[in-house]
Structure 1
């Protein structure tokens, strides 16, 4: 089951910004994340470019993609780019991966059939891991075919220069449906869903553990994460209005009651009560994505300084299933 502490990360919304990142890095958070698209309908960035900016403009925190739409990328290119970033940051990179599909024209533009995005992601994850493990790699798969390729991450000059961690960055699977859970259980180093209620998260934990058990896989060290749209304000009504404006239209004009189940909002006390339910369901690493049109640093600050300290780990059950 999940680890023995609760940690927070933050999404750099709306775009990675040097001053925002510097302020966020002074908070008690441990990671910063951004995703991206190739051909989004608005002028937003691409995932690996954003990751590179975050890597350059931070010093302490993990930086990660949330998420990289892996089937859109030739895996050898993605493996090299991500390995170089991990090496130059001394192992601070994490790779959230997803299958995408929101914008079909992205797939058309790069010649990837939309219906192949799942199996392409699975095969690409296998290739990334093989190349990051070092040595010559030969791969003959359904979509990719090559012999004796060896990836050598770039290093900064100097004997004490940082380098890529052994085995490469963790691959954290995102999604909400059963195929993503199977992918996490069999190929991932962690699970990072989004727009999921605490009850649904608990079911996903059980499904992943069952799938891993069936595959004979030990989930020791597996990261139980949640990419959580939320808004924390001193004024709880303002926070709820922010979430409704930010997410309601984007996800089909969902009513406020439904949004509250998947995107907590309110005062620090109110949001902490909602997040505690996720902790009880198994989440140990929250990525706080501010669902707000402005003042996003305030959301992250209140979350890190006033919500996180209110969260507690469940009391372990004593032998026989009875809590002590």
Structure 2
């Protein structure tokens, strides 16, 4: 049976002024028995957005069970020691529920300029940060003088007993190589099942070369569930245009639109290709309203045994 998560509404592409709904959305997702809630990370993009670690801390305060994921933290954009402190804080406050997704970003070059980080060095910075992060989180002092990062960090406390599960985002070769070295789970988006299966096989071979087991595979997917497929398409198109300035036609073949019955076979094909975890990015003006529809989709993909129990039952 697959694990299922949902993105929290930490972006406001339609500028509805409802970013304060994030804690309530986290409570609602937990009541619906999702396995995890996730927050995307940017410093600046085309729409208002919340800081991802802070949003997850707010979600931690109002939930008890659901895991808290970053999808994905732009670790190379941030000072590494401060990022480690934030991550440890979330994990401590939540009782060990943090899931650490990381990625390189780059779709908004202006945020790298704003942070004083060279866009061209983002991959190297991420790799070096990942190489020292376990020591930082474990409370060990770190001295590191690499080509992209120079660190001299005393022991940080509180220390974590273990590094949170690491998800490496991205679908290309650099992401596969990074996942093979560091990840517990590979987290791509916008891949068809045959391509995903082929890259997952390659990932396993790369990981074996590092003496590591093959990471699991999660899938981040855009979705708008609606009985009216054309209305779902319009909502998704408007969302992507506002948040990413991305035409839907570019990614429509990987975007899940329409009824749960129409979408379920697409996700089932990804499950057959090796995906063990699904992370939904609801598209449209009512992302939280998509959560209950996603429970119906989950039951269709995973079978009757995955039917979501009534909260409080």
Query: Normalised by the size of structure 2, how large is the TM-score?
Result: 0.86
Alpha-carbon deviation of 1:39? 2.4
- Please tell me whether the aligned partners of residues 84 and 133 of structure 2 are also in contact (alpha carbons under 8 angstroms): yes
Distance 2:189 2:154 in 1: 35
Q: How many residue pairs end up in the alignment?
A: 293
**Aligned counterparts of 1:145 and 1:274: Cα–Cα separation in 2:** 45
**Are residue 10 (structure 1) and residue 24 (structure 2) matched?**
no
Q: 2:135 aligns with which of 97, 112, 130?
A: 130
Do the aligned partners of 2:61 and 2:93 also contact (CA within 8 Å) in 1? no
Q: How does 1:254-273 map to 2 (within 5 A)?
A: 254-255=248-249, 259-273=251-265
- Where does structure 1 differ by over 4 angstroms across 4 or more consecutive aligned residues? none
Tell me if structure 2 keeps the 8 A contact 1:137–1:149. Answer: yes
CA distance in structure 1 between the aligned counterparts of 2:202 and 2:90, rounded to whole angstroms: 33
**SS of equivalent residue, structure 1 residue 297:** coil
Shift of 1:52: 1.8
Answer 1 or 2: which has greater helix percent: 2
* Counterpart position of 1:109: 114
Residue in 2 aligned with 1:188?
A: 183
Residue 9 of structure 1 aligns to a residue in which SS? strand
Aligned partner of 1:288 in structure 2 is 280
Query: Is 1:275 aligned to residue 267 of structure 2?
Result: yes
Q: CA deviation at 1:146?
A: 4.1
Match of 2:207 in 1: 212
2:35 counterpart residue number = 30
Displacement of 1:312 after TM fit? 4.3
CA distance in 2 between counterparts of 1:18 and 1:147 reads 36
Distance of aligned partners of 1:312 and 1:27 in 2 relative to their CA distance in 1, 3 Å threshold? closer
Aligned 1:127-206 pairs, distance under 5 A: 127-147=132-152, 149-153=154-158, 164=160, 166-206=161-201
CA distance in 2, matches of 1:312, 1:110: 42
Q: Describe the shift of the 1:182–1:114 C-alpha distance in structure 2 as closer, same or farther (beyond 3 A).
A: same
Aligned residues of 2:53 and 2:90 also touching (Cα < 8 A): no
Q: Distance in 2 between matches of 1:233 and 1:207?
A: 36
- CA–CA separation in structure 2 for the residues paired with 1:131 and 1:252: 37
Alignment partner for residue 97 of structure 2, among 92, 99, 112? 92
CA RMSD of aligned residues (A): 2.1
Gaps of 5+ in 1: 155-163, 314-324
Match of 1:311 among 301, 307, 313: 301
Match of 1:318?
none
TM-score, length of structure 1 as denominator length: 0.83
Inter-partner Cα distance in structure 2 for 1:147 and 1:107: 23
Q: Retained in 2: the 8 A contact 1:230–1:289? A: yes
